[in-house]
Amino acid sequence: MRIMSTELLDGRTCLMTGSSRGIGLGVARALTNHGGTVILHGREEKTLRSALASLKGLGATHILAADLSDHDGIERLEAEIARCFGTLHVLIQSAGILGLKVPLAEYPAEVWGEVTWSTTATPKGCDQPFILHKDAGER
Ligand SMILES: NC(=O)c1ccc[n+]([C@@H]2O[C@H](COP(=O)([O-])OP(=O)(O)OC[C@H]3O[C@@H](n4cnc5c(N)ncnc54)[C@H](OP(=O)(O)O)[C@@H]3O)[C@@H](O)[C@H]2O)c1
């Protein structure tokens, strides 16, 4: 398959949450194809390192591990991005777990809390996330 390449995201820092594998990694690959500086994210360093290796040669890519279901993890991620990149231009969220495939009425309450933050696409405790720059919407 031929993948079109552009410079649309040239000079833009993009955080793709949940990009150590699956859908997030696929989208991260597309972001690098458009010139973005892409931050791969997940909880496991080891998985992140293999994801990074799979994108080798595709452009500027970095890894940051943090648990987004934990407020401290979100704060650490924000602090690392501020320290390493200063500004975040693009945030795409794919981090999450699908959970059990059972009817909603039968869903165990103790597991429900684990998945709700991901199914609503807003990480728990992450209602004022990250450091989107004031000119982030220019392009
Ligand atoms: N694939 C589908 O058919 C489908 C359908 C409907 C909805 N979805 C949703 O779409 C999203 C992505 O799906 P996928 O199939 O690509 O899933 P996946 O292959 O399991 O990937 C999930 C990603 O999220 C990360 N992650 C999970 N929990 C995290 C946490 N607490 N903090 C930080 N990162 C976390 C994982 O890395 P670590 O495990 O290393 O943290 C991984 O990078 C999920 O929210 C899923 O529920 C998928």
Question: Per-10-residue mean pLDDT for the chain, 139 residues long?
Answer: 76 93 95 94 96 88 88 86 88 86 86 67 42 50
For the CA of 99, the closest atom of ligand 1 is 47
Tell me how far the alpha carbon of residue 103 lies from the centroid of ligand 1, in angstroms. Answer: 20
Is the separation of the CB atoms in 16 and 28 below 8 Å? Answer: yes
| Residue 47 φ/ψ region, left for φ over 0, alpha for ψ in the -120 to 50 degree band, beta for the rest | alpha
> How far is 132 from 139, CA to CA, in rounded Å?
13
Which domains are present in the chain? 13-134 (3.40.50.720)
> How far is 36 from 63, CA to CA, in rounded Å?
14
Does residue 96 line the site of ligand 1, with CB under 6 A? Answer: yes
- Between helices 22-33 and 45-54, what is the axis angle to 10°? 40
The pLDDT value recorded for residue 130 is: 47
Tell me how far the alpha carbon of residue 94 lies from the centroid of ligand 1, in angstroms. Answer: 6
Structure pTM? 0.85
The pLDDT value recorded for residue 137 is: 52
Does residue 42 line the site of ligand 1, with CB under 6 A? Answer: yes
The pLDDT value recorded for residue 46 is: 97
Give the number of other Cβ atoms within 10 Å of residue 24's Cβ: 22
> How far is 95 from 18, CA to CA, in rounded Å?
4
Does residue 82 line the site of ligand 1, with CB under 6 A? Answer: no
The pLDDT value recorded for residue 125 is: 37
The pLDDT value recorded for residue 26 is: 96
